[in-house]
Structure 1
Amino acid sequence: MVWIRAIGVLALTGLVSTGSTGPVSALANEPAAQKTDTTPVPPPAKTEPAPAQAPQPIVPKPKAVEAEPKPATKPQHPANNVGGAKPVPAPPLPADITGKDGAPMVLVPAGEFTMGSDKGDEDEAPIHRVYLDAFYLDKFEVTNGRFAKFVEAVQSEPPWGFADKDTPLVQADRPVRWVSWMDATGYCLWAGKRLPTEAEWEKAARGTDGRTYPWGNDPPTPAHAVFGLKEGGAETVSPIGNRDKGKSPYGVHDLAGNLYEWVMDWYDEEFYTNFAKNPAINPRGPSEGTAKAQRGGSYINNPYRLRSSFRTKGDPTEQDPNVGFRCAQDVPKLP
């Protein structure tokens, strides 16, 4: 028996020294007191692998967005509107002002008017709508008395009618004449003003209702204007402000008769038909020319030439006995 056990030990020793160490080592490490459970143990249930999910696109993490402030239940007033007070509208423009030269001026408000005529000469057509900014215009033509102050201030050569030096004193309230376009422009600049454009002159004369004359559509009478006289002395020219029935819708006197009036624009008989050069807003006439436009008719003309749409012209260096002028002024810009 002893011999048989020895052989078993040697056999086991050979197994240990020559066989795989995996199973033997596992048996050798088990505790000696552990019993082998003869009851067959069912194999562990196989865990089904989770179905493979489709790869999800990589979405960049959105940046944190600051929450917008909730709108106020009431409209917020501007920062400079302290206390929530309503903004104060700009004050209305005064209807009358006094120019630097002491001459009264009246406001011609901004807006559209009908310019031209289809019943007059070819250079008056076609009728068209024009928009003008607000401006001020002398209520009366520039007088001898006011022009004499200009001549003295700038040491200018006086008009031909001032040769006797009595005209500025004796006839101070009559419109100055024998003045060229250059003379008229010089005076307006000295007074801080300018000559009116053709469009401004016409709007001041006829208003916005397309009237034929400053007072309306009725033919002129001596109570409306000075016209139809023969060339003569100074008495043919009326003092300013004595034809109230002839006032324009804005209260401007003598825009028909008495004296033709220089305006700023160069004269072009086809200017109204040249829409590329004749803008519908604040037109200023051609950029160049040989003659300057005149408006209003004079004491020697018939009613046809007293119409507010009538146009004529003159050499800007000429001085004529039946031509005078008045000045215009831009509305001061608000700060």
Structure 2
Amino acid sequence: MDIRSTIAMCMVMMGLSSVTAPVWADEIVAPKSESTPTPVPAPATPPVSVPNPVLPKSHAQDAETKPPVKTQASGAPAETPNKESVPGKTESTPTPSKPKVQEGESKPPAKAPHLANGSALPKPTAPLPPEIAGKDGAAMVLVTASEFTMGSDKGDDDESPVHRVYVDTFYLDKFEVTNGRFAKFVEAIQSEPPWGFSDKDTPVTHADRPVRWVSWMDAMGYCLWAGKRLPTEAEWEKAARGTDGRVYPWGNEVPTAAHAVFGLKEGGGETVSPIGNRDKGKSAYGAHDLAGNLYEWVMDWYAEDFYANFAKNPAINPRGPIEGTAKVQRGGSYINNPYRLRSSFRTKGDPTEQDPNVGFRCAQEVPKLP
């Protein structure tokens, strides 16, 4: 089997069959053109002397900017040209009026807004539904495009410096992925279930609790199977903090048991809470349990000094380092104190590691309209 067939099969196995197949360079064929008869040159005629025509004024072409309009000095009276000229009377030169756009002439494009570092912001999109259902049936909330404040100068060294980031619109799972949904993934691909999952008791009796004991690779595998992906670190923090720089997903109020599951001891039977029972702790976009319950895997590799080197990284939809040994985890868990529940707090884990206090949720791009 050649490499093209192998790639196509991998795309189908990963659930990406809807993606347009790659076009290979040797398969590109120039479009056929119908043969046309060779034109027969007309008999030569003697040149005729024609006076030089007066060329009309050309219209502005596409992407051509309009001529600048001279601004009048402050305080000077506006001059209005007379409709008739009187012989022997000296008239002041009228100020040329702003030329009107002629029919068929395109207006110059408006200047796009820019971030502080000069990067242009993407154009706004049409209104989207605030909530949709993913391919796995899970509810997803809309996180609208905008700038937000990322990082903190009151936390650990890897949270600074504070910087402004722009993130495009995306959808994020409203809740962490549950045992019940993850069990369908395990059954569908016949994969090895997480620890404590093989007896099938957990996904049945605790189907509405977030799945744990999952590695980064388990989490990524589920998201791809569901037609989604893990959120980037910037997307996760944007969904948790909103645009007002809040400390926790719900605001700046100190966490209580009504906001999040935290401060518990490992080994208790009720350490992980079912999804959707902490309404007071949801984010501005409607996402639940972004603080407490379980840490959450995100897409990015971890680097302690990544923010310190942020001048070298894009301010629009930033991604983490291109390589590393650990993946970022966010949000704190049921065994942590309020300090780790802050939305800017960062920690890490081996991508093959499985821990009892780590879960995940998925994200996806805005679906393209037909």
Partner of 2:53: 64
Counterpart check, 1:327 vs 2:365: no
Deviations 1:136-176 (A, max 9, x none): 00000000000000001111110002022111111000000
Partner of 2:141: 106
- Cα distance in 2, alignment partners of residues 320 and 179 from structure 1: 7
Whose helix proportion is higher, 1 or 2? 1
Partner of 2:240: 205
Q: Secondary structure at the match of 2:149?
A: strand
Q: Check 1:75–1:270 CA distance in 2 against 1; reply closer, same or farther (3 A cut).
A: same
Given residue 248 of structure 2, which amino acid in structure 1 is its aligned partner? Y
Q: Check 1:67–1:321 CA distance in 2 against 1; reply closer, same or farther (3 A cut).
A: same
Q: Check 1:313–1:73 CA distance in 2 against 1; reply closer, same or farther (3 A cut).
A: closer
Cα contact 1:161–1:177 (8 A) shared by 2: no
Q: Secondary structure at the match of 1:131?
A: strand
Residue 163 of structure 2, aligned match among 122, 128, 145: 128
Alpha-carbon offset, residue 247 of structure 1? 0.4
Given residue 341 of structure 2, which amino acid in structure 1 is its aligned partner? L
Counterpart check, 1:219 vs 2:219: no
Given residue 265 of structure 2, which amino acid in structure 1 is its aligned partner? K
Alpha-carbon offset, residue 127 of structure 1? 0.6
Alpha-carbon offset, residue 229 of structure 1? 0.2
Alpha-carbon offset, residue 90 of structure 1? 6.5
- Cα distance in 2, alignment partners of residues 210 and 78 from structure 1: 45
Cα contact 2:149–2:164 (8 A) shared by 1: yes
Q: Check 1:319–1:69 CA distance in 2 against 1; reply closer, same or farther (3 A cut).
A: closer
Counterpart check, 1:305 vs 2:340: yes
Alpha-carbon offset, residue 91 of structure 1? 4.0
Alpha-carbon offset, residue 75 of structure 1? 6.0
Aligned pairs for 1:106-255 within 5 A = 106-255=141-290
Q: Check 1:69–1:167 CA distance in 2 against 1; reply closer, same or farther (3 A cut).
A: same
Counterpart check, 1:292 vs 2:281: no
Deviations 1:249-286 (A, max 9, x none): 00000000000000000000100011244321101100
- Cα distance in 2, alignment partners of residues 132 and 331 from structure 1: 13
Aligned pairs for 1:13-24 within 5 A = none
Q: Secondary structure at the match of 2:176?
A: coil
Alpha-carbon offset, residue 334 of structure 1? 5.2
- Cα distance in 1, alignment partners of residues 101 and 165 from structure 2: 42
TM-score (norm 2): 0.68
Cα contact 1:271–1:277 (8 A) shared by 2: no
Q: Secondary structure at the match of 1:203?
A: helix
- Cα distance in 2, alignment partners of residues 288 and 268 from structure 1: 9
Given residue 261 of structure 2, which amino acid in structure 1 is its aligned partner? V
Given residue 53 of structure 2, which amino acid in structure 1 is its aligned partner? A
Cα contact 2:59–2:102 (8 A) shared by 1: no
Cα contact 1:144–1:175 (8 A) shared by 2: yes
Residue 315 of structure 1, aligned match among 332, 341, 350: 350
- Cα distance in 2, alignment partners of residues 145 and 306 from structure 1: 26
Q: Check 1:118–1:187 CA distance in 2 against 1; reply closer, same or farther (3 A cut).
A: same
Q: Check 1:64–1:263 CA distance in 2 against 1; reply closer, same or farther (3 A cut).
A: same
- Cα distance in 2, alignment partners of residues 203 and 63 from structure 1: 66
Q: Check 1:66–1:154 CA distance in 2 against 1; reply closer, same or farther (3 A cut).
A: same
Q: Check 1:259–1:268 CA distance in 2 against 1; reply closer, same or farther (3 A cut).
A: same
Give identity over the alignment, percent.
82
Query: RMSD between aligned alpha carbons?
Result: 2.3
Alpha-carbon offset, residue 66 of structure 1? 4.3
Given residue 184 of structure 1, which amino acid in structure 2 is its aligned partner? A
Given residue 166 of structure 2, which amino acid in structure 1 is its aligned partner? Y
Cα contact 1:179–1:319 (8 A) shared by 2: yes
Alpha-carbon offset, residue 232 of structure 1? 1.4
Cα contact 1:140–1:240 (8 A) shared by 2: yes
Cα contact 2:331–2:341 (8 A) shared by 1: yes
Cα contact 1:180–1:316 (8 A) shared by 2: yes
Given residue 250 of structure 1, which amino acid in structure 2 is its aligned partner? Y
Alpha-carbon offset, residue 94 of structure 1? 1.1
Given residue 163 of structure 1, which amino acid in structure 2 is its aligned partner? S
TM-score (norm 1): 0.75
Q: Secondary structure at the match of 2:141?
A: strand
Unaligned regions of 5+ residues in structure 1, if any? 1-60, 80-88
- Count of residue pairs the alignment pairs up: 266
Deviations 1:193-252 (A, max 9, x none): 000011100010010100100011111000000000000145210000000000000000
Unaligned regions of 5+ residues in structure 2, if any? 1-49, 61-98, 107-123
Partner of 1:95: 130
